[in-house]
A and B are shown apart, each in its own frame.
Chain A
Amino acid sequence: MKSNTMILHTAALLIMPLQLMFSVFLLFRGHDEPGGGFIGGLVAAGAFVLYAFAFGAEPARRILRVGPRDLLGAGLLLGLASTLPALLSGQPMLTAHWWELPLPGGDYLKLSTPLIFDIGVYFAVLGTIMTFVIGLMEAEE
Chain B
Amino acid sequence: MLLAVLSGFLLAIVVPLLHRVAGKYIGWLLALLPASLVAYFSTFLSQVQGGPLLLEYQWLPGLGISLNFLVDGLSLTFALLISGIGTFILIYAGSYLAGHKYLARFFVIMLAFMASMLGLVLSDNLITLFVFWELTSITSYMLIGFNHEDLEARKCALQGLFVTVAGGMALMAGLILLTIMTGSYSISAILASGDPIHQHAFYTAAVLCLLAGAFTKSAQVPFHFWLPNAMAAPTPVSAFLHSATMVKAGIYLMARLNPALGEGEFWSMMLMGFGAATMLTGAWFAFSSTGIKKVLAYSTVMALGTLTMLIGVGTELAMTAFICFLIAHSLYKGALFMLAGALDHETGTKDISRMGGLRKAMPVTATIAVFAALSLAGLPPLFGFIAKELMLESLLDAPLWSNLLVMAAVASAILIVGVAGLVAIKPFFGTPGDTPKTPHEAPFGMLIGPAVLTIIALAFGLMPFLPENALLKAAVASVYGAPVDFHLALWHGINAPLLLSAVSLIVGLLLFRAWPRIQPTLNAINYAGSRVGPEAGYFKIMEWITVVASWQTRMLQNGVLGIYMLVLVAVTFGLAGYTMLDKYGVHFTLNLADSHFYEWGIALLLVASAVFASSTHSRLGSVASMGVLGFGVALTFILFSAPDLGITQLLVETLTVILLVLVLFKLPEFVNLSTPFQRYRDLAVSVFAGITITLMMLAVLDIQYFETISTYYVENSAPLAYGRNIVNVILVDFRALDTLGEIFVLSLAALGVLSMLKLKAEDQHKP
Instruction: Tell me the A residues contacting B by CB distance below 8 Å.
Output: 1, 30-39, 42-43, 45-46, 49, 53, 68-69, 72, 75-77, 79-80, 82-83, 87-88, 90-94, 96, 98, 110, 112, 114-115, 117-118, 120-121, 124-125, 127-129, 131-133, 135-136, 138-140
Residues of A within 8 A of B746 (CB): 124-125, 128
Chain B contacts for A72, CB-based, 8 A:
747, 750-751
Contact A132 B753 (CB under 8 A): yes
Q: In the complex, which residues of chain B have a beta carbon less than 8 angstroms from the beta carbon of A80?
A: 740
CB contacts (< 8 Å) of B59 on chain A: these are 87, 92-93
B126 part of interface (Cβ distance < 8 Å)? no
Contact between A79 and B743, CB atoms less than 8 A apart: yes
Q: Does B499 contact A (CB under 8 A)?
A: no
5 A/B residue pairs, CB under 8 Å, sorted by A: A32-B725, A92-B59, A114-B736, A131-B753, A135-B757
- Nearest chain B residue, comparing its CB with the CB of A82: B736
Question: Given the complex of chains A and B, what is the CA–CA distance between A14 and B60 in angstroms?
Answer: 47
Asked whether, in the complex, the Cβ of A43 is within 8 Å of the Cβ of B722, the reply is no
By beta carbon, the residue of chain A nearest B743 is A124
Q: Which residues of B lie under 8 Å from residue A75 when comparing CB positions?
A: 743, 747
Chain A residues with Cβ below 8 Å from B662 are 1, 53, 136
| Complex Cα gap A115–B731 (Å) | 11
A124 contacts which of B13, B648, B651, B747 (Cβ < 8 Å)?
A: B747
User: Across the interface, do A94 and B740 meet the contact criterion of CB distance under 8 Å?
Assistant: yes
For the complex, is B22 an interface residue (Cβ under 8 Å from A)? no
**Bound state CA distance, A28 and B86, in angstroms?**
44
Taking a contact as CB atoms under 8 Å apart, the answer to whether A92 and B736 are in contact is no
Nearest CB in chain A: distance from B57 CB, A: 6
CB of B744 within 8 Å of the partner chain: yes
- Across the two chains, which residue of chain A brings its CB closest to B57? A90
Assuming A39-B648, A96-B733, A114-B736, is B725 touching A128 (CB within 8 A)?
no
Q: Give 15 A-B pairs besides A114-B721, A131-B754 with Cβ atoms closer than 8 angstroms.
A: A32-B723, A34-B643, A34-B647, A37-B732, A39-B644, A69-B750, A76-B743, A87-B59, A90-B57, A93-B59, A124-B747, A129-B655, A136-B659, A136-B662, A139-B761
**B741-767 interface code vs A (CB 8 A; 1 in, 0 out):** 001101101110110010011000000
Contact between B743 and A88, CB atoms less than 8 A apart: no
B686 to chain A, nearest CB (A): 27
Residues of B within 8 A of A39 (CB): 644, 647-648, 651
Q: Does B58 contact A (CB under 8 A)?
A: yes
Known: A114-B732, A114-B733. A30 touches B725 (CB 8 A): yes
CB of A34 within 8 A of CB of B659, answer no
User: For residue B729, which residues in chain A have a CB less than 8 angstroms away from its CB?
Assistant: 31, 114
Rounded to whole Å, the gap between the CB of A127 and the closest CB of chain B is 7
Bound state CA distance, A70 and B754, in angstroms? 13
Beta-carbon contact of B725 and A131 below 8 Å: no
Complex-state Cα separation, A128 to B744, whole angstroms: 10
Contact with A along B712-745 (1 / 0, CB 8 A): 0000000001111101110111001101100110
Are B728 and A30 in touch, CB under 8 angstroms?
yes
- The answer to whether A49 and B658 touch (CB under 8 A), given A75-B743, A132-B750, is yes
- Is B3 among interface residues, defined by CB-CB distance under 8 A? yes
**A35 touching B655 by the CB < 8 A rule?**
no
Residues of A within 8 A of B761 (CB): 138-139
Chain B residues in contact with chain A, CB under 8 A?
Answer: 2-3, 13, 57-62, 67, 643-644, 647-648, 651-652, 654-655, 658-659, 662, 666, 721-725, 727-729, 731-733, 736-737, 739-740, 743-744, 746-747, 749-751, 753-754, 757, 760-761
Q: Are B58 and A46 touching (Cβ within 8 A)?
A: no
Report whether B60 and A87 are in contact in the complex, using a CB–CB cutoff of 8 Å. Answer: no
- B3–A118 CB distance below 8 A: no
Residue pair A92, B732 in contact (C-beta under 8 Å): no
Closest to B60 in A: A93
Contact call B722/A36, Cβ cutoff below 8 A: no
| Candidates B3, B647, B739; contact of A121 at CB < 8 Å | B739
A110 cross-chain contacts in B, Cβ below 8 A:
722
Contact call B725/A38, Cβ cutoff below 8 A:
no
Chain A nearest CB, measured from B763 CB (Å): 11
Bound-state Cα–Cα, A131 to B2, Å: 35
The CA-CA distance from A38 to B654 in the complex, in Å, is 15
Highest count of chain A CB atoms <10 Å: which of B643, B651, B722 = B651
Partner of A127, one of B58, B725, B750: B750
Known contacts A31-B723, A88-B3; is-contact A43 B728 (Cβ 8 Å): no
* B58 contacts A79, C-beta separation under 8 Å: no
Residues of A within 8 A of B648 (CB): 38-39, 42
A128 to B651 Cα, complex, angstroms: 14
* Across the A-B interface, the 10 shortest Cβ-Cβ residue pairs: A31-B723, A42-B651, A124-B743, A131-B750, A34-B643, A114-B732, A36-B728, A128-B750, A32-B724, A94-B736
Given the interface contacts A36-B731, A93-B60, A114-B736, does A76 sit within 8 Å of B644 by beta carbon?
A: no
What separation, in Å, do the CA atoms of A75 and B721 have in the docked complex? 22
User: Which of B13, B648, B750 is packed against the most chain A CB atoms within 10 Å?
Assistant: B750
Give Cα A108 to B53, complex, Å: 44
Compute how far the CA of A90 lies from the CA of B687 in the bound complex, rounded to whole angstroms. 52
A77 to B728, CA, bound (A): 20
A138 to B: closest C-beta gap in Å:
8
Q: A87 to B67: give the CA distance in the assembly, Å.
A: 9
Distance in angstroms between the alpha carbons of A94 and B738 in the assembled complex? 11
Closest A residue, CB atoms, query B666? A140
Cα distance, A87 to B128, chains bound together (Å):
14
Would B651 and A43 count as touching, CB distance under 8 A? yes
Query: In the complex, are the beta carbons of B58 and A128 less than 8 A apart?
Result: no
